[in-house]
C-alpha cells in the first residue's frame, strides 16, 4: 500500500528516486511524485497516473537536488488526482512529506490546524503532517524537534519521510508500516521495501516502530521517538538486482511463475535429512506441547494456510485457518498449548500483524511464516520460518503460495513427530524433494494458453475442489478474478448442489480439481454442472484416465502424493489466469484497485 523512497547523497537524486519509484510501483500506481532539495528550497513534481506520467511531467521541469523523497500511491483518502498525489507540503511549501499508512486522527488535527490559520489543498489524511511540522517550526522549534513533536501527535499507522527547507536532511519514522534504511558507499536510501534501492546497495537496516532516522549525506542517526539512541543490526540482503527485474519477460507474474522450480527448491533445501524435518533454529521436540494450531492470514496466504490446515489434519493435529481481518477483532480462545501461525508473504500485512499482536497478548506461542527477513512479523512472533522464495514483484502472488505450502507441509511433519500425533510420512518428504522437477514439467506445458483462448467468452468461471483441492480452487479463482476482472469463484466441490448450481448456465466454465483422493465424489459434482450445460475443465494426475474421460478438457500434472498434488495443480491455474488476462489486455502486474502489500486495515 503506497511506496516510499528517499535518497540522500552528494549528486543529483532525481534519477535514483525515479528508479526507486519504478521498483515500488507494485505497491500502488494511482499517482506518483518526487521532491528534491539542494539544501535551500524544495521543488516538487507530482501527478496522477502511473510512473510514466510523472516521467513525462519531469521533462517539462528542471528539478535538481542531491536529497529527495518520492512516493507512488494506492488511494485511501481521496481519489487519484494531482492534488491528492504525494509528496505533500504545508501551506507555505517549507515542509514536504511522503506517507504510507493512515492517520486515524487526521480530521481532528486538520480542524485544529485550520483554526490556527493553516490551509489545505487536498483530501488526504497526509496533509496534516507537514502542517504539524510547520506549526512547530513557527513556534521556534528546531527541525528535528518539530518533526518529533508532530509524530507524537499522530494516531494510526504510518511510515513517513520528510524534507524541511534549508536542510539537506531526511527525517523519517515508522509505526505499523514498513520502512527500511539502505546504506550505500556515498548515498543512503529509505524505502518501503528493499527492491526500491537494491540496484544501489544490499546493506540494510530494518527500522522498528517509533525509530526515528535522521539521514544526511555524511551519515545517519537512529533514535527512539524521545531522542534516545538505538542500535539496529546492519544486514546484507541475499537478493540481487536481477531478482527484481523482468529479465526479458513481458510481465513479472510470468517470470515468477517460471521461477517456481527454483524458488521451491530453495524453500525445501537443507530442511529434510534422513526422513526427518530440520527447521533451522527450531530443534526436534520444540513443538511437543502443541495441541492446536491456529493459522491467521489474508488473501493468497490465507489459501496457503487453509491448505496447511488440511495437511495438519492428516497428521492428527487440530488446526484452523482464520481470516486475519476477522481474528484481529474476534479472536478464538487460546492457551499455552496453542500455536498461532501468521502466514504473510511480506511480513507487513496489517490485518495479519493485528492478529499476531492479539495472539501475543495471550499465553499462546506465535510463529511467523514469511518471505522477508527483518519484517515486522518475523520480529514480533516468538519464532519465524522463512519461505526463501526470493522477491516477488507481481501483485498477484504465485511462487510465494507454492513456497508457503511447502513450508507448512514440512511444519506439519515436524509437529506431528514432536507431539507424537503421527510418526511422520516419509512419502510426503520424498515427494517434496521431487516437486521442483515436477513443477518444471507443469510450467513448460503449453496447454493452458490454448484453453484460455477456447473459453475466453464465458460468463463465469467456477473453481471446485475437495480436500486440499478446495483451498487451491479458492486460490485459482482469486488469481483469475484479480487479473482478468471476470467473475470467478472457488467452491468446495460438494457445495455446488447447496446453492452455486443456481448460477450455472451453458456459458459457465467449471474448473474441477482432482488430487487423486476422493476423485469419484468430485466427479459426481462435476456431472451436476455438466448436466446443466456447463463446460468442464479437469486438472489432475496424469494417471487418472477415468477422470479424463468424464470432462470436456483435461490438464494433467505428474502423479504425486495426493496431499501435495495441489501445488502442481495450482501452477496450471496460475498459467490459466495469466493467459486469460493477456488475451484481455489487462495490466497483469498491476491489476486495478489492488496493491502488493496491504499495510492498512
pLDDT in tens, 307-351: 999 999 999 999 999 999 999 899 999 999 999 999 999 998 989
pLDDT at 104 > cutoff 80: yes
Q: What percent of the chain has pLDDT over 90?
A: 75
Of the candidate CATH numbers 3.40.50.2300, 3.40.50.10490, 1.10.490.130, 3.30.360.10, the domain formed by 445-601 belongs to: 3.40.50.10490
Report, as an integer, the average pLDDT of 98-110: 92
Report, as an integer, the average pLDDT of 128-151: 96
Residues 6+ apart with CB under 8 A from 328: 296, 351, 354, 355, 357, 358, 601
Q: What is the pLDDT of residues 414-442, one digit of tens each?
A: 999 999 998 888 899 999 999 999 999 99
CB atoms within 10 A of CB 274: 7
Q: Which residues of 289-309 are buried (b: 16+ CB within 10 A; e: fewer)?
A: ebebbbbbbbbbbbbbbbbbb
- Topology match between the domains 246-440 and 445-601: yes
Q: Which CATH class is domain 3-243?
A: alpha beta
Report, as an integer, the average pLDDT of 81-100: 90
Q: What is the pLDDT of residues 39-83, one digit of tens each?
A: 889 999 988 888 888 888 898 888 889 999 999 886 676 677 888
The torsion angle over the Cα atoms of residues 125, 96, 23 and 449, rounded to 10 degrees, is 30
At 87, list the grid cell.
509528496
Q: What is the pLDDT of residues 167-179, one digit of tens each?
A: 999 999 999 888 9
Q: What is the pLDDT of residues 236-289, one digit of tens each?
A: 988 766 677 788 899 999 999 999 999 999 999 999 988 889 998 899 999 999
pLDDT at 599: 58
Report, as an integer, the average pLDDT of 141-164: 95
Reported pTM: 0.85
CA 274 to chain centre: 34
The domain ranges of the chain are 3-243, 246-440, 445-601
Q: Which CATH class is domain 246-440?
A: alpha beta
- Cβ–Cβ < 8 Å for 510, 537: yes
Spatial CA neighbour of 261 closest among 113, 439, 520: 439
Residues 52, 18: Cα–Cα separation, whole Å: 10
pLDDT at 60: 84
| Helix 14-23, helix 51-59: angle, nearest 10 | 160
- Cβ–Cβ < 8 Å for 188, 215: yes
Strand runs labelled E in 116-269 = 156-164, 170-175, 180-183, 188-191, 203-206, 212-216, 219-223, 235-236
Report, as an integer, the average pLDDT of 438-448: 94
Could you list the active site residues?
A: 2, 596
Amino acid at each position: 500500500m503506497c511506496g516510499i523512497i528517499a535518497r540522500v547523497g552528494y549528486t543529483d537524486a532525481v534519477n535514483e528516486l525515479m528508479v526507486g519509484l519504478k521498483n515500488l510501483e507494485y505497491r500502488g500506481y494511482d499517482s506518483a511524485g518526487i521532491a528534491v532539495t539542494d539544501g535551500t528550497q524544495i521543488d516538487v513534481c507530482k501527478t496522477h497516473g502511473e510512473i510514466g506520467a510523472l516521467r513525462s511531467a519531469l521533462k517539462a521541469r528542471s528539478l535538481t537536488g542531491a536529497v529527495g523523497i518520492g512516493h507512488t500511491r494506492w488511494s485511501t483518502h481521496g481519489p487519484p488526482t494531482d492534488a491528492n498525489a504525494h509528496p505533500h507540503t504545508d501551506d507555505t511549501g517549507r515542509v514536504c512529506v511522503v506517507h504510507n499508512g493512515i492517520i486515524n486522527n487526521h480530521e481532528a488535527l486538520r480542524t485544529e490546524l485550520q483554526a490556527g490559520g493553516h490551509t489545505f489543498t487536498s483530501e488526504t489524511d497526509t496533509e496534516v503532517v507537514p502542517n504539524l511540522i510547520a506549526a512547530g517550526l513557527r513556534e521556534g522549534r528546531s527541525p528535528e524537534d518539530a518533526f518529533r513533536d508532530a509524530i507524537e501527535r499522530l494516531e494510526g499507522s504510518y511510515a513517513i519521510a520528510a524534507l524541511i527547507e534549508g536542510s539537506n536532511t531526511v527525517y523519517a519514522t515508522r509505526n505499523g508500516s514498513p520502512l527500511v534504511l539502505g546504506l550505500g558507499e556515498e548515498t543512503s536510501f529509505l524505502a518501503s521495501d528493499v527492491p526500491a534501492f537494491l540496484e544501489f546497495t544490499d546493506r540494510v537496516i530494518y527500522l522498528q516502530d517509533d525509530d526515528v532516522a535522521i539521514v544526511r549525506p555524511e551519515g545517519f542517526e537512529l533514535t527512539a521517538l524521545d531522542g534516545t539512541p538505538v542500535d539496529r543490526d546492519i544486514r546484507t540482503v541475499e537478493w540481487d538486482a536481477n531478482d527484481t527485474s523482468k529479465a526479458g519477460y513481458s510481465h513479472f507474474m510470468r517470470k515468477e511463475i517460471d521461477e517456481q522450480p527454483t524458488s521451491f527448491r530453495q524453500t525445501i533445501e537443507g530442511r529434510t535429512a534422513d526422513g526427518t524435518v530440520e527447521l533451522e533454529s527450531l530443534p526436534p521436540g520444540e513443538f511437543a506441547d502443541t495441541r492446536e494450531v491456529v493459522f491467521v492470514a489474508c488473501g493468497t496466504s490465507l489459501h496457503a494456510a487453509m491448505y496447511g490446515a488440511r495437511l495438519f489434519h492428516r497428521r492428527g493435529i487440530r488446526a484452523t485457518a482464520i481470516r486475519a481481518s476477522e481474528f484481529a477483532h474476534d479472536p478464538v480462545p487460546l492457551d499455552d498449548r496453542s500455536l498461532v501461525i501468521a502466514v504473510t508473504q511480506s511480513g507487513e500485512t496489517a490485518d495479519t500483524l493485528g492478529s499476531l499482536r492479539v495472539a501475543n497478548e495471550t499465553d499462546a506461542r506465535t510463529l511467523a511464516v514469511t518471505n522477508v527477513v527483518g519484517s515486522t512479523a518475523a520480529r514480533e512472533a516468538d519464532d519465524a520460518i522463512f519461505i526463501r522464495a526470493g522477491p516477488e514483484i507481481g501483485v498477484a502472488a504465485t511462487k510465494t503460495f507454492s513456497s508457503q505450502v511447502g513450508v507448512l507441509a514440512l511444519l506439519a511433519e515436524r509437529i506431528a513427530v514432536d507431539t507424537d500425533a503421527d510418526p511422520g510420512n516419509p512419502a510426503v518428504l520424498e515427494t517434496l524433494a521431487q516437486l521442483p522437477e515436477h513443477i518444471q514439467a507443469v510450467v513448460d506445458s503449453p496447454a493452458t494458453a490454448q484453453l484460455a483462448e477456447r473459453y475466453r467468452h464465458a460468463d463465469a468461471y467456477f473453481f471446485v475442489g475437495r480436500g486440499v483441492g478446495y483451498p487451491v480452487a479458492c486460490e485459482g479463482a482469486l488469481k483469475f478474478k484479480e487479473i482478468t476482472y471476470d467473475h470467478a469463484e472457488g467452491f468446495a466441490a460438494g457445495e455446488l448442489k447447496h446453492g452455486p448450481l443456481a448460477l450455472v448456465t451453458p456459458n459457465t466454465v467449471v474448473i474441477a480439481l482432482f488430487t487423486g483422493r476422493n476423485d469419484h465424489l468430485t466427479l459426481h459434482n462435476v456431472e451436476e454442472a455438466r448436466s446443466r450445460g456447463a463446460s468442464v475443465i479437469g486438472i489432475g494426475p496424469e494417471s487418472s484416465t477415468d477422470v479424463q474421460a468424464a470432462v470436456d478438457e483435461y490438464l494433467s500434472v505428474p502423479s504425486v502424493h495426493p496431499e501435495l498434488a495441489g501445488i502442481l495443480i495450482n501452477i496450471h491455474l496460475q498459467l490459466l489466469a495469466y493467459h486469460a488476462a493477456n488475451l484481455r489486455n489487462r495490466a497483469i502486474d498491476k491489476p486495478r484497485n489492488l496493491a502488493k502489500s496491504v499495510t492498512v486495515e
